[in-house]
Structure 1
Amino acid sequence: MTSSYTVKNIIEQDNINSTINSYIKILTPIQFTLETCNIANDDKYLNFLMTSPRENTFYSFKTEKEINHFNMRPPHIHDFYELLIVLDGEIHQLIEKTDFVFHSGSCCLMNHNIVHKEIFSSDATLLFIGMSKELVQQLSEDEPKVYFPDIERPGHNPILRFLSDNLDNPDTKEYLDFMPSLNNKDWHHTLHAITDNILRAIMYPKLGSTYVIKGMLLELFDYLSNPEHFHFTPVHVEADNDFLLFTHISHILEDTNGRITRSELEQLLNYSGNYLNSIVKKYTNSCLFDYSQTFCMKRAAALLLETTASISEIMDELHFTNTTHFYKCFKEHYHMTPKQYRISMKIKLVP
């Protein structure tokens, strides 16, 4: 019985008969895999489209039994970096024996020594971008050679820095978790446009296509690391699902200045309000409402310091209708009234 197989000069999988994990090697600098799963209807399928500068291939599972067999396969580890983009639906990622759920818009950048696998339990469309260590090394070495250092800022992109650091410390078991900011309604269009440009350069190569691919990868890194578009969190494999959920709660509260109802938070994160409250309590020793208020008052303090808006205008922006309640909340956090805070902080800033 064979213990390895090769997919069209794209990847090679070894140790496939292991019940523990298999090992996948990339045979090309970059490869894209689009996985589309439909299990909600009678016409069930799980399609795989793989493309790379060397080969393209397509294969499909067309029965529920085949899809279940795919889900039951052992996890894998690989010698390349893998960016998962959930284009639609949701997917379970088993990462070092811990089950995480990634929803539409979520991304995950896995380093090359984490044991994991994706599991389909509902309809989903996923894009995986595999990047060889040699490609990452080239991106890292080329970074100081930019034409516009004041704008491109070599050494400052956190995603490229994460990849470069992992090259230097290959035993680190850490990945990056991404979720779109609440105001980023255009993430699907932007990610599609960037990845489509990379795919076009791969599938229809011409002079300069290698540089287009590298440039578009860096543009993708820039987009995902921009806090106006995405929040990202470095996650060590020892962290559990609660920690990741807490970071997602915090990011949403930051995006909404804490002015979001429990039911709205439930809908965004697909967890009950009581469970979300218990997660916040675990990490802050505060209830969800009080934790939300810290973001609201932080925004109020920033507006007092950085703008000339009146207190009533700040109340309107933060959706307060009761002046007494606003003053009470502010004093609980800063031990002075909003007016006193504005005056005292501006005095401190005077040289």
Structure 2
Amino acid sequence: MASSYTVNNIIEQDNLNSGINSYIKILTPIQFTLETCCQSDNNAYLNFLMTSPRENTFYHFQTKKEIHQFNNRSPHIHDFYELLIVLDGEIHQQIEQSDLVFHSGNCCLMNHNIVHKEVFSSDATLLFIGMSKELVKQLSDDEQKVYFPDIEMPGINPILKFLTDNLDNPDTKEYLDFLPALNNKDWHHTLHAITDNILRAIMFPKLGSTYIIKGMLLELFDYLADPTHFHFTPVHVEADNDFILFSHICHLLEDTDGRISRSELEQILNYSGNYLNTIVKKYTHKCLFDYGQTFCMKKAATLLKETTSSISEIMEELHFTNTTHFYKCFKEHYHMTPNQFRISSKNKH
């Protein structure tokens, strides 16, 4: 069996027979791979559509046995940056020594040093965007030539900064973990629109398509970096799975001012409430309910300080029905009543 192969001037994979990892090199500035897996007994298949400015290709696996063989392949490492977007379903992502589950809406931007592989355990649709180091360098260099520096803010986008920092520190092993903000119900439509524009520019090139691709990539980075749309966490591979789950819990508590129920967290994160409680205790020494209250009281303090809303209006916004309970919780966190806090905040200004 050959130890390497090339896919239509898109990628080249070496060390295919290695039990440790194979190595994938990108042969084009950018490539898209759309993977669709169906595991029903009567209609099992796994489709790969790969497209790039140089070539396009399509693969079709049509039995559960072939899907199983795909899942049993060796992990891989590559010389490019890879953004995974889970468009539908879920995928197991084995990253170094960790086995993580990414659900619909989750994204992962991986640098070029991490050994990993994707394993299909259920129906799923995934989009991978591979970006060469040369493309990242061009995006970074182009930042210094923008026409609207007050708006485009060179050097500010944290995703592009993550990529360029990795160019300067080539031995690091880290990735960005993305979780849709709780109120971002439109993420699928927006990500589809942005990536569809990039794909259209790749598949139907014309004068200016290179600039369209670069511009839409930056628009994608801008969208993923906006906390009203997505939360992201930088993760070093030394970090354990619990840290990533804890960051997801924190983001969801922040999105809801701590007023999300344990059952809602269970449904969104696909873990039992008891396990989520254990994770929170591990990092905060508080139970999930008490930790959620810190977000709620922080929001109450912000409303007291920055608005003229009455205390009853603030209670209503934070879903408190018992005045005594609200006052007790607030005093436990700020050691004064809500009225005293509001007066104190005004005096400081």
TM norm. shorter chain > 0.5? yes
TM-score (normalizing by structure 1): 0.99
Are 1:101 and 2:101 an aligned pair?
Answer: yes
Residue of structure 1 equivalent to 2:237 = 237
State the 1:144 CA deviation.
1.5
* Distance in 1 between residues matched to 2:26 and 2:310, nearest whole Å: 59
Counterpart residue identity of residue 127, structure 1: L
State the 1:169 CA deviation.
0.1
Residue of structure 1 equivalent to 2:84 = 84
State the 1:40 CA deviation.
3.1
SS at structure 1 position matched to 2:23: strand
State the 1:2 CA deviation.
1.5
The percentage of aligned residue pairs carrying the same residue is 83
State the 1:5 CA deviation.
0.1
State the 4+ residue runs in structure 1 displaced beyond 3 angstroms.
Answer: none
Alignment of 1:333-344 (within 5 A): 333-344=333-344
TM-score (normalizing by structure 2): 0.99
Counterpart residue identity of residue 113, structure 1: N
Residue of structure 1 equivalent to 2:180 = 180
* Distance in 2 between residues matched to 1:338 and 1:155, nearest whole Å: 41
SS at structure 1 position matched to 2:100: strand
Structure 2 unmatched runs, 5+:
none
Residue of structure 1 equivalent to 2:122 = 122
Residue of structure 2 equivalent to 1:251 = 251
State the 1:42 CA deviation.
1.9
Counterpart residue identity of residue 286, structure 1: K
- 1:46-66 Cα offsets, whole Å, 9 max, x none, are 100000000000001111111
Moved more, 38-47 or 308-317: 38-47
Counterpart residue identity of residue 321, structure 2: T
* Distance in 1 between residues matched to 2:312 and 2:94, nearest whole Å: 49
Counterpart residue identity of residue 95, structure 2: I
Alignment of 1:125-144 (within 5 A): 125-144=125-144
Structure 1 unmatched runs, 5+:
none
* Distance in 1 between residues matched to 2:238 and 2:90, nearest whole Å: 23
Residue of structure 1 equivalent to 2:345 = 345
Counterpart residue identity of residue 156, structure 1: I
- 1:86-114 Cα offsets, whole Å, 9 max, x none, are 00000000000210010000000000110
Residue of structure 2 equivalent to 1:64 = 64
Residue of structure 2 equivalent to 1:263 = 263
* Distance in 2 between residues matched to 1:280 and 1:120, nearest whole Å: 29
Counterpart residue identity of residue 158, structure 2: P
Counterpart residue identity of residue 221, structure 1: F
State the 1:315 CA deviation.
0.3
Structure 1 residues 328, 101: closer, same or farther in 2, change over 3 A? Answer: same
Counterpart residue identity of residue 247, structure 2: T
State the 1:118 CA deviation.
0.4
* Distance in 1 between residues matched to 2:70 and 2:41, nearest whole Å: 18
State the 1:298 CA deviation.
0.5
CA RMSD between the two structures: 0.6
Residue of structure 2 equivalent to 1:323 = 323
State the 1:41 CA deviation.
4.1
Counterpart residue identity of residue 281, structure 2: K
- 1:278-326 Cα offsets, whole Å, 9 max, x none, are 0000010000000000000000001111111111000000000000000
Residue of structure 2 equivalent to 1:151 = 151
* Distance in 1 between residues matched to 2:347 and 2:212, nearest whole Å: 51
Task: Report how many aligned residue pairs link the two structures.
Answer: 349
* Distance in 2 between residues matched to 1:223 and 1:111, nearest whole Å: 20
* Distance in 1 between residues matched to 2:41 and 2:97, nearest whole Å: 30
Residue of structure 1 equivalent to 2:23 = 23
* Distance in 2 between residues matched to 1:330 and 1:83, nearest whole Å: 42
State the 1:226 CA deviation.
0.1
* Distance in 2 between residues matched to 1:188 and 1:240, nearest whole Å: 28
